[in-house]
Structure 1
Amino acid sequence: MNFFHRAYLAVLCVALFGLSACATSPSREPAAGQHWVASWGTSPQALGQPESLPATLWRDGTVRQIVRLSLGGSRVRVRVSNVYGTQMMVLGEASIGRALRAGSSEVVAGSLQPLRFNGQAAVRIPAGGEYLSDPVEMPVAAGQDLAVTLHLSGDPGQQTGHAGARTHSFLAPGRQTNAPSLDGAQAVTRWYALAGVEVSADSPARALVVAGDSITDGYGATTDGNNRWTDYLARRIARERKQPLAVINAGIGGGRLLRDGLGSNLASRFERDVLGRAGVSHAIVFIGVNDIGVLRRAKEDTPEALAAMLDDFKQAHLQMIARAHARGVCVIGATITPFMGSGYYQPAAANEALRQAVNDWVRRSGAFDGVLDFDRALRDPQQPSYLSKTYDSGDGLHPSHAGYAALAEAVPLESLERCAYSRRVGSTQ
């Protein structure tokens, strides 16, 4: 819509309804030569009782959440999610500012700005919905921490959030949206109703979304340390790659490709969590160990079930790749890392054979636009079905901090440049 159309509609609105009814929100369109790109994000989950907020906070409480951007820009906007809610989620108001430091509810003095939704301070988000805020003029840089503060005014029934934030959020009673620091705050390691932050960035900038399980979600990472393997990768890309590329973590602890667990299965959430991100050009799919492990733990790993799972793996990946290619998104497959040493899953030889079969298909099928051999990066050369002791956190399943750094180093950045599908992405998002 051009200037003259907007001006005509504004005059018509005032004539029919009066000035107060026709207030407009800031333009959602980025400046010339820029587009909206996801800079931070997480995958929404239906929160269980241990992670859920008490009803008193939902009726009148404040939550301040600290997120680290992976891409800079001139303006920001926030995606708020009620995707698993069973009734309206009501926000009384919201704000955004620059966090003073990780692990604190304090913001940089004078940095808080109100978040609006179509010009309004309050918003009611329907069950199953996600809303974008109006843009806020706020120059930001990659690696910067922002504080997003929501005043909660209405319980959505089933709560939407992310259980494994690996970052402190702060809960406080009453309306403290514009407070420099929250009075009486309680620190928790969850995110609530917050799905993403987007920035208005120059057109070459794009987003890489990593879909995975607890290894991507950052199991064992230091709280407020930003040392998940995707964090290491974001810093490496910012340091070494000429064209800017955000890294969005779409991992869920306990997540599986084919079945629901602590979150929805990846095949069902791929559209929203990966392809629905603004400016996405690349996706890494790194998942499968929990599918194999849960089958073993449930004592359902019959030869027939293992063979069926291999076929289901292939079908699910091919479906996701086709959907991504239809959007011009490059898909990079990652091999499943060793877990024979896992005391939780206690895999048998047949489970290891399935992991090897999946990995062989990922490497050789030609279905992906690129392959990350994370199995090779982390395995013990003497016992390839086990994690290297250098990279094992101690449970035989999750990488150590050194293992997370090794995963980030195992991504050949030149493969991101070579991906043909990334060249086809327009700047319409």
Structure 2
Amino acid sequence: MENQTVRQVARISVGGNSVRVVLSNAFGEKPLTIGAGSVAIAGKGGNVDQATLKPLTWGGNSSVVVPPGAPILSDPIALSAEALSEISVSIFLPKKTALSSVHWDGVQTAYISGPGNFTNEAAFKADSTLKSRLFLSDIWVDAVPESEAIVFFGDSITDGNCSTPDANNRWPDHIAKRLQEANRKVAVVNEAFSGNRVLTDGMGVNALGRFDSDILSHPKVSTVVLMMGINDIGWPGENAITPDDKEPTAQDIITGYKQLIDRAHAHGIRIVGATLTPFAETFKGLPTEGYYTPEKEKIRVAVNEWIRTGGGFDGVVDFDKVMEDPAKPGYLRDDYDCGDNLHPNDAGYKAMADAVDLDVLLGSAK
């Protein structure tokens, strides 16, 4: 991209009177130049509420250069936003920019302009769109002092793969709504992406490798919810799934969990474990159908048994029982299946969220 504006929308979970935007050049090999930026309450189709449109600044400057590997935090911007509001963030990229720090399956439309800086325009004319997040990492809200945050740490299922785009139907999205309805002062942070694994890199950095940057970097984190491991089992290799790939043992994955538990506890953070959902016949008939085998199912069952009974986690959410077809053990329920035997549909994601006991999720939090 070059001499173009990108406008993106993200829903916040708690409300406040000012926001700060975090942009990321985490995977960039060159400095990232942001020529201008803005924030506003989102409207429809890439448009925003003109009365709320505010320029972003960084140390009082209207532009910023982000070093390779670094995030950049904007100045606080006065913006009154209610809980569950949709916030629009626009950035102008004046120089030729490689799309390096990207969340490819954002399940949210990114609007890309033709040539020019349109960050200050309420009506946005998009020349193209993507369903990815480009350089946008976080939106921080100045919530009430007693508020706290839960980080949902996972893979494509927590990322909302197969859910309806622009509809906020990921299961953590539904949790955010439930928390607001219960008057809990708790922010929801989704740190999940497709293909993520506990032990090894795949479509991004493994969980052990990104724990510090993706958990500890967030303010006021009280709890982590871990739902990860199915890709370690189903897709253990580096590239295509082949019979020669050696999947980890259940104990290997459990050892990874124990590391994450210890690291969370070392920072005074609770960690809740979620069981791995059924995946029988995942990608059947496709080149990737080796993702599931009966031998791999035995690993999933053993991992889930440890999550339930091993005593390592501060709480457990048993999504396996919620999502399993009672007539076909090991299979995802048909009415919750988006069609690949692995990922839930919108109804499935809502069922997952509805099954979560908020007291288990929050422990002693009020």
Please confirm whether the aligned pair reaches a TM-score higher than 0.5, indicating the same fold.
yes
Distance in 2 between residues matched to 1:208 and 1:90, nearest whole Å: 31
Select which of 10, 26, 29 maps to 1:67.
10
Q: How does 1:278-297 map to 2 (within 5 A)?
A: 278-295=219-236, 297=241
Q: Check conservation: 1:380, 1:388, Cα contact below 8 A.
A: yes
SS at match of 1:95: strand
1:243 maps to which residue?
A: 184
1:233 maps to which residue?
A: 175
2:244 maps to which residue?
A: 300
Q: Once the 2 structures are TM-superposed, how far is the Cα of residue 202 of structure 1 from its aligned partner? A: 0.9
SS at match of 2:308: helix
2:37 maps to which residue?
A: 94
SS at match of 2:311: coil
Asked if residue 353 in structure 1 is aligned to residue 293 in structure 2, the reply is no
Q: Once the 2 structures are TM-superposed, how far is the Cα of residue 373 of structure 1 from its aligned partner? A: 0.6
Q: How does 1:24-423 map to 2 (within 5 A)?
A: 57-58=1-2, 60-101=3-44, 104-155=45-96, 157=98, 159-172=100-113, 173-240=115-182, 242-295=183-236, 297-300=241-244, 305-306=246-247, 308-342=248-282, 343=284, 344-346=288-290, 347-419=292-364
Amino acid at match of 1:65: Q
Distance in 1 between residues matched to 2:125 and 2:66, nearest whole Å: 27
SS at match of 1:295: coil
Distance in 2 between residues matched to 1:277 and 1:330, nearest whole Å: 14
Q: Once the 2 structures are TM-superposed, how far is the Cα of residue 295 of structure 1 from its aligned partner? A: 3.5
Q: Once the 2 structures are TM-superposed, how far is the Cα of residue 399 of structure 1 from its aligned partner? A: 1.1
Q: Percent identity?
A: 36
Q: Check conservation: 1:63, 1:170, Cα contact below 8 A.
A: yes
Distance in 2 between residues matched to 1:220 and 1:398, nearest whole Å: 7
- The range that moved more, 336-345 or 67-76, is 336-345
SS at match of 2:353: helix
Structure 2 unmatched ranges of 5 or more: none
Distance in 2 between residues matched to 1:292 and 1:300, nearest whole Å: 13
SS at match of 2:226: strand
Distance in 2 between residues matched to 1:345 and 1:215, nearest whole Å: 18
Distance in 2 between residues matched to 1:151 and 1:272, nearest whole Å: 25
Distance in 2 between residues matched to 1:130 and 1:158, nearest whole Å: 15
Q: Check conservation: 1:208, 1:245, Cα contact below 8 A.
A: yes
Distance in 1 between residues matched to 2:91 and 2:99, nearest whole Å: 18
Distance in 1 between residues matched to 2:98 and 2:49, nearest whole Å: 34
Q: Once the 2 structures are TM-superposed, how far is the Cα of residue 311 of structure 1 from its aligned partner? A: 2.5
Deviations along 1:77-107, whole A, 9 cap, x unmatched? Answer: 0001000000100011111111113xx1211
Distance in 1 between residues matched to 2:363 and 2:167, nearest whole Å: 32
- The range that moved more, 382-391 or 144-153, is 382-391
CA distance 1:182–1:158, change in 2 (3 Å): closer
Query: Aligned pairs, how many?
Result: 357
Q: Check conservation: 2:111, 2:126, Cα contact below 8 A.
A: no
Deviations along 1:368-398, whole A, 9 cap, x unmatched? Answer: 1101111011101222211122222221111
- The range that moved more, 182-191 or 231-240, is 182-191
Q: Check conservation: 1:88, 1:155, Cα contact below 8 A.
A: no
Q: Once the 2 structures are TM-superposed, how far is the Cα of residue 294 of structure 1 from its aligned partner? A: 1.1
Amino acid at match of 2:338: S
Q: Check conservation: 2:172, 2:353, Cα contact below 8 A.
A: yes
SS at match of 2:215: helix
- The range that moved more, 121-130 or 324-333, is 324-333
What is the alpha-carbon root mean square deviation over aligned residues? 1.7
Q: Once the 2 structures are TM-superposed, how far is the Cα of residue 411 of structure 1 from its aligned partner? A: 0.9
Distance in 2 between residues matched to 1:184 and 1:355, nearest whole Å: 44
Q: Once the 2 structures are TM-superposed, how far is the Cα of residue 154 of structure 1 from its aligned partner? A: 3.2
Amino acid at match of 1:271: D
1:48 maps to which residue?
A: none
SS at match of 2:341: coil
SS at match of 1:390: helix
Amino acid at match of 2:279: F
Distance in 1 between residues matched to 2:148 and 2:101, nearest whole Å: 27
Work out which of the two has the higher radius of gyration on C-alpha atoms and give 1 or 2.
Answer: 1
Amino acid at match of 1:300: D
TM-score where L is the length of structure 1: 0.80
Q: Check conservation: 2:18, 2:77, Cα contact below 8 A.
A: yes
Amino acid at match of 1:329: I
- The range that moved more, 84-93 or 309-318, is 309-318
